[in-house]
Amino acid sequence: MSEIGVIGAGAFGTALAITLAREGHTVALWGRDGAAVAAMAEARENTRYLPGAALPETLRPTAELSRALDADTLLIAIPAQQVRPFALARAQALTGKTLVSCAKGIDLESGVGPAATLTAACRDATVAVLTGPSFAADLARGLPTALTLAATGPGAPALQARLSGAALRLYLTDDLTGAELGGALKNVIALAAGLTIGAGLGESARASVITRGFAEMQRFAQTLGARAETLAGLSGFGDLVLTCTSEKSRNYGAGLALGRGAARPGGTVEGVATARAVVRLAAHHGVEMPIAAMVAAVLAGRLSVAQARKALLTRPLREE
């Protein structure tokens, strides 16, 4: 039996599996593409998503989901929009497990995050959230990384200790809502920051987008029950800074390309679906989120970048 199962063999799932295996855990890394998993097992490297990062001997890639589900602790590292169908289809197999959500987003259909999705689908499971500023390549190289682990109950400190290591330091909170929303919302603001630079509006404008975007994140999250200090921590502000300032961020990179005139981003860019979900939820709760609304409008083709810029700059003046 594997000690830990990682669901999702993309870049971040692979990096987490490598990190945990280096700490002496036996890890089963599940990917749905059988050929890709076989190639990974043979090469001892995820050449598609994380080239150059060797897989430790105690990391076992597998396309057989049952092998990963044998573990009592599962890290769910699949895209946010895939969490709900995955959990609903396998609710019985997930019963009694510790499920650590590593996805960052809000489900378009249900309007809730991955942790709430897992809790609803697998009522006997213990659900936690692992989030914060981290790039898979840095984690896989063993570079120092600090993340937030949101968990409740008497077993939370033990889970924190189990998942921490020499290069991965976890800070514990019991605010699952705040931790999860920080990770989801920062992707929307990262798209806006990328759009700003891509459209040639400058570094000063990007700083304004990050700052006012953070204010939107706080308003929205607190309305949904999150604590302000959670958003000011690694899972909110920390992740926002990283994601809005590096082209290694998929969301920032997608916004950058869009601002330069490229087509609407494809692939896994979590902020695209999250922007739609957030704007819908913000309207329902009466939360003002002008930057998120402009991102959603640009992505939907309802506004050009120039029109969005004008709309934001001509809003009524107000106190900060």
- Give catalytic residue positions: 186
Specify whether the CB–CB gap between 115 and 75 falls below 8 A: no
Which structure tokens are listed for 30? 């599940």
Could you tell me which residues come within 8 angstroms of residue 189 by beta carbon, excluding any fewer than 6 positions away? 209, 210, 213, 214, 216, 217, 240, 243, 244, 291, 292
Neighbour count for residue 313 (Cβ, 10 Å): 8
Which structure tokens are listed for 235? 């899972």
Q: What distance in Å separates the CA atoms of residue 252 and residue 105, rounded to the nearest whole number?
A: 15
Give residue for tokens 């709900």: 84
Specify whether the CB–CB gap between 46 and 24 falls below 8 A: no
Which structure tokens are listed for 171? 């800070």
Give whole-number Cα distances, 34 to 38, 39, 65, in Å.
Answer: 6, 9, 11
Phi first, then psi, for residue 99 (nearest 5°) are -110, 115
Write out the DSSP string of 113-173: -HHHHHHHH-TTSEEEEEESS--HHHHHTT--EEEEEE--STTHHHHHHHH--SSEEEEEE
Could you tell me which residues come within 8 angstroms of residue 219 by beta carbon, excluding any fewer than 6 positions away? 287, 288, 289
